[in-house]
């Protein structure tokens, strides 16, 4: 067959999607698709669809969890679009659309108050929780979607409580502003994870195209729904709850499908606890499946990273206790119910991982009540010894298991301290 076609001069491929061969025969070069005839990526309907809605170089240019995450993200966006239509209709009805007694001024004031309180909420939330959105992207992504559903439910109910309508829609506006910050920031964090060729912009653009297509489909369905639900509160609430259940389920599946190879506090704690138990290193897939994705309110001993020196030690004697048996560029102590870690300016990423591992070990031996006692230096010294024994092998193990130890998503603050011992 190849003799009839001629001599193979060159081959080319487009990722794993398609490959071509160039044949030379009697002074003519001919290009043929490898593996039989067929349309190329750019010519077939499926090829055009991939070009429009998937990042260039897919699937090699994205993480392995990209397709599963995007599928569930599409489902949740579709159901959220339909729920949003019901909420918008209720809001418009509440401000007086269709009511001859309502004034334009009153409706405008209500809308401005709603937007204004939302803007303030956005600023305050970004100030308080902005640094958490990278390290706990899954939790805050799911939190944002739950809060979005609550806000839409409030908007649907608001018209049935006229005296409190403005208060309800303003509260819903605040919730939606938090959703905007948390949802947008965590989407960016997940895009960083998905981009494997420094192609964040392409992935973000294609994600926007996918969402626009979904919203267009939702718009078409909404045109059918609106006449049915108008002046029918029972049907409105029934459809809203149906879409909300689908929305929350799809969001849960979406964040559960994400497999991050970088350590945050939860993933590092899960991997370390398993290693201390049976010397087995969990893969990123296994650890991500165990990682909690809901905001937790149970009482645990919190860990504060990158704190000021006085949050760890408050006297020269305590400083010497903190430095005892510790040759690493960080200090660790227990203060006011928290495990606090003070980082030196020369600390590497590996030192950050080690400090967090030591804090996790110490946290597992304390309870919220006992952590408020003044002296825990013996336990701190024991944790130093434990790290000297296990950390080197643990670090080699996690790297071999596929974890990225060149960077972390640990929530370090920016304080860096240079300390001196008595010998200095």
Phi-psi region of 35 (alpha: psi -120 to 50; beta: other; left: phi over 0): left
**How far is residue 91's CA from residue 372's CA, in Å, rounded to a whole number?**
49
pLDDT tens sequence across 26-61: 778 888 887 655 445 455 788 788 889 999 888 889
Dmax of the chain from CA atoms? 90
Asked if 229 contacts 236 with a C-beta cutoff of 8 angstroms, the reply is: yes
Residue 401 backbone phi and psi in degrees, to 5: -80, -5
Question: What pLDDT is recorded for position 299?
Answer: 66
Q: Measure the CA–CA gap between 60 and 399, rounded to whole angstroms.
A: 22
pLDDT of residue 368: 61
pLDDT of residue 399: 96
Over the range 47-72, which residues count as b (16 or more CB within 10 Å of their CB) and which as e?
beebeebbbebbeebbbebbeebbeb
Q: Where are the domains of the chain?
A: 2-53, 66-257, 265-400
Q: Distance between CA 399 and CA 405 in Å, rounded?
A: 7
Q: pLDDT tens digit string along 273-296?
A: 999 999 999 999 999 999 999 987
Per-position b or e across 334-370, b if 16+ CB within 10 A of its CB: bbeebbbbbbeeebeeeebbbbbbbbbbbbeebeeee
- What are residue 191's phi and psi, to 5 degrees? -65, -40
Class of domain 66-257: mainly alpha
- Residue 1: what pLDDT? 47
What is the DSSP annotation of 226-289?
HHHHTT-HHHHHHHHHHHHHHHHHHHHHHHHH----B--HHHHHHHHHHHHHHSPPPPHHHHHH
How much of the chain is in helix, strand and coil states, percent to nearest 5?
60, 10, 30
Note the pLDDT of residue 95: 56
Give the per-residue pLDDT at 27: 75
Residues in the chain where the model's pLDDT stays below 50: 1, 38-39, 41, 98, 100, 102, 374, 424
Regarding pTM above 0.75, the answer is yes
**Are 234 and 92 within 8 A, CB to CB?**
no
Which pLDDT value is given to residue 286? Answer: 96
Q: Which of 205, 195, 193 is nearest to 138 (CA)?
A: 193
**DSSP letter (8 states) at residue 158:** G
């Amino acid at each position: 067959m190849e003799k009839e076609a001629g001599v193979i001069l060159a081959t080319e491929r487009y990722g794993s999607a398609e490959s071509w061969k160039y044949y030379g025969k009697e002074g003519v070069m001919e290009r043929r698709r490898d593996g039989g005839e067929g349309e190329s990526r750019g010519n077939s309907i499926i090829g055009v669809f991939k070009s429009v809605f998937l990042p260039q170089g897919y699937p090699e240019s994205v993480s392995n969890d990209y397709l599963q995450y995007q599928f569930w993200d599409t489902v949740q966006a579709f159901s959220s679009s339909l729920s949003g239509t019901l909420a918008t209709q209720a809001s418009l009805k509440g401000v007086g659309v269709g009511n001859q007694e309502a004034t334009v001024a009153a409706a405008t004031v209500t809308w401005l108050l709603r937007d204004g309180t939302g803007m303030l909420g956005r600023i305050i939330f970004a100030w308080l929780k902005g640094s958490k959105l990278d390290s706990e992207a899954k939790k805050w992504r799911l939190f944002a979607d739950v809060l979005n559903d609550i806000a839409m439910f409030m908007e649907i109910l608001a018209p049935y409580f006229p005296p409190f309508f403005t208060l309800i829609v303003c509260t819903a506006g605040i919730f939606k502003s938090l959703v905007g910050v948390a949802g947008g920031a965590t989407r960016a964090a997940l895009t960083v994870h998905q981009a494997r060729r420094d192609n964040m912009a392409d992935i973000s653009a294609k994600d926007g195209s996918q969402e626009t297509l979904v919203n267009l489909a939702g718009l078409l369905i909404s045109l059918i729904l609106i006449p049915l639900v108008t002046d029918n509160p029972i049907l409105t609430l029934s459809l809203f709850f149906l879409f909300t259940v689908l929305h929350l389920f799809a969001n849960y599946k979406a964040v559960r499908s994400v497999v991050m190879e970088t350590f945050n506090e939860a993933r590092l704690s899960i991997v370390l606890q398993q290693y201390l138990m049976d010397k087995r290193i969990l893969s990123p897939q296994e650890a991500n499946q165990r990682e909690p994705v809901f905001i937790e309110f149970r009482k645990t001993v919190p860990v504060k990273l990158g704190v000021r020196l006085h949050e760890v030690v408050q006297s020269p004697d305590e400083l010497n206790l903190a430095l005892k048996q510790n040759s690493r560029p960080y200090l660790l102590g227990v203060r006011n119910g928290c495990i606090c870690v003070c980082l030196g300016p020369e600390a590497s990423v590996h030192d950050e991982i080690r400090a967090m591992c030591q804090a996790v070990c110490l946290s597992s031996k304390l309870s919220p009540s006992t952590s408020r006692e003044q002296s825990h230096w013996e336990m701190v010294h024991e944790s130093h010894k434990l790290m000297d024994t296990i950390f080197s092998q643990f670090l080699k193990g996690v790297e071999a298991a596929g974890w990225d130890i060149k960077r972390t998503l640990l929530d370090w603050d920016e304080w860096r301290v240079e300390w001196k011992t008595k010998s200095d």
